[in-house]
Amino acid sequence: MKRKQLLLSIFALFITLSVQAGSGIFLRGDINSWGATSEWEFADEGNGVYTLYDKELSGRFKIADENWSTYNFGAVSSDATLVIGVPLPLVYDGTDINCGAPLTCQKITFTVHNDATYTLLIEGTSGAPTSGIFLRGGLTNWDTLADWEFIDEGNGVYALYDKELYGQFKIASADWSTVNYGSPAGTFTLGEPFALSYAGNDISCTDTYICSKITFTLIDGNATLLVEGNVKPAGELTEVYVIGDNNNWNFNDASGKLSATGDDGIYEGSVTIYNAGTEGIGYWRIYEGLGQVGCWGNPGGNNTTTHTTSGTLERESQGCITTNANTYIITFNRNTGQFSAVVDDGTGIISQKDDFEYTLIDGKLNINSPADISVYKVDGTWLLSDKNINNVDLSVFGKGVYIIKVSTTAKTHIFKMGI
């Protein structure tokens, strides 16, 4: 009887060892320098189920064999979200899987299903150690937002994942004292470490970046920034923004919007400038986007000192234009930097063609003499045509840029207009 029990025990042990034998399938990522290491090899539990137990997981990874050949599985898209307890669909040669925050994993299961689909399941808890260190800039209105608090990855390394980065920023704590790092000069390059200095200048983005990872390293007082990702493809710029004493320098407030007029690079809008303190004038600059994207200021970085209603702005200059308190129609030419500010008499944005004038008020296009008007989407899709009319309400088509065709008795004009 004892011999039989011993044989059964040996057989059970053999089965257990066989089932949990190495599979030749690995979790490969930031956690192990993307290597095929034995501690990250899945155990083959049979029936297409492969498991890892008791792992601390962070960063990006994929499921692959040693040669990245038969097995090379990632997420369906870069937008796919890994959620604890929810199976994540995988595809062959997919994108990197992103943890988002460090994970304490009781079990990681990779499953090859009978219908030739693949999933990954993480069971455990999310443990993102807070750092008290934030990316603070125009995109956060220079505040300390939870979404922009770095994850403490240990050993002086702090990280943010999957962020859209633009404008100007610094790396700082809530008190701007414990941590306060900026640029000594110049700006960073994607994929290259950039040395920072304590109490340095604002760090400027020359483009908008889709960041897979932003790493801030602080070791023995030496700080570096590493931004990994891609440049966001440039779209058509439909509006720019006056930011300053008109909106209390809120870099995410769109109230100072100047809309594309349809003439190449020309933007116009009605903006109210308020006094700054007791000086009797208001200070402002123009930005290509909210969050301090693409700053245009007075050349040389110096503020004007008197009431200024026209001139030429310089890109990346931090110099302010000073204007007496009033409501103005501000016109800006992005191609040349020229601007003008004319007191708004309440009639709206006025632009001049060589044989007619038009105004744009609350999305309604008004022409000073009857004409044949057609409206198209920018892809050429026809929206409206009418003859011998003076106005068209573009707001019924929604916010965007439209192609306007105006035929007068003298000639036909075709131009773009944004609302």
Q: Return the CATH number at 408.
A: 2.60.40.3080
- pTM of the model as a whole: 0.52
Residues 277 and 332 in one domain: yes
Residues 70 and 85 in one domain: yes
Q: Which has the closest alpha carbon to 32: 73, 54, 60?
A: 60
Domain assignment of residue 59, yes or no? yes
Q: How far is CA 291 from CA 24, 29, 139, 140, 249, in A?
A: 48, 33, 4, 7, 11
Residue 201 maps to which CATH number? 2.60.40.3620
Give the domain extent around 324: 239-343
What DSSP string describes 346-393? SS-EEEE-SS-EEEEETTEEEEEEEEEEEEEETTS-EEEEEEEEEEEE
Residues 227 and 210 in one domain: yes
Residues 134 and 224 in one domain: yes
- What are residue 223's DSSP bridge partners? 196, 218
Domain boundary among 126, 154, 185: 126
Residues 177 and 151 in one domain: yes
**Average of per-residue pLDDT values in the chain:** 85
Residues 319 and 354 in one domain: no
Residue 85 maps to which CATH number? 2.60.40
Domain assignment of residue 5, yes or no? no
Q: How far is CA 84 from CA 87, 108, 122, 278, 352, in A?
A: 8, 10, 5, 56, 59
Domain assignment of residue 6, yes or no? no
Residues 383 and 328 in one domain: no
Q: How many structural domains comprise the chain?
A: 4
pLDDT tens for each residue of the chain, 419 residues long: 445 454 434 433 433 333 345 799 999 999 999 999 999 999 999 999 999 999 998 889 999 999 999 999 999 987 677 888 889 999 999 999 988 777 889 999 999 999 999 999 999 877 666 789 999 998 898 999 988 999 888 889 999 988 999 888 999 999 999 999 999 987 899 999 999 999 999 998 888 899 999 999 999 889 999 999 998 876 778 899 999 998 889 988 888 999 888 778 889 888 888 876 666 789 999 999 888 888 999 999 999 989 999 999 998 898 999 999 888 889 999 999 999 988 876 555 555 566 667 777 778 888 888 888 888 776 667 788 888 898 899 889 887 777 788 888 777 776 667 77
Q: Which has the closest alpha carbon to 97: 34, 6, 165?
A: 34
Residues 337 and 354 in one domain: no
Domain assignment of residue 175, yes or no? yes
Residues 87 and 25 in one domain: yes
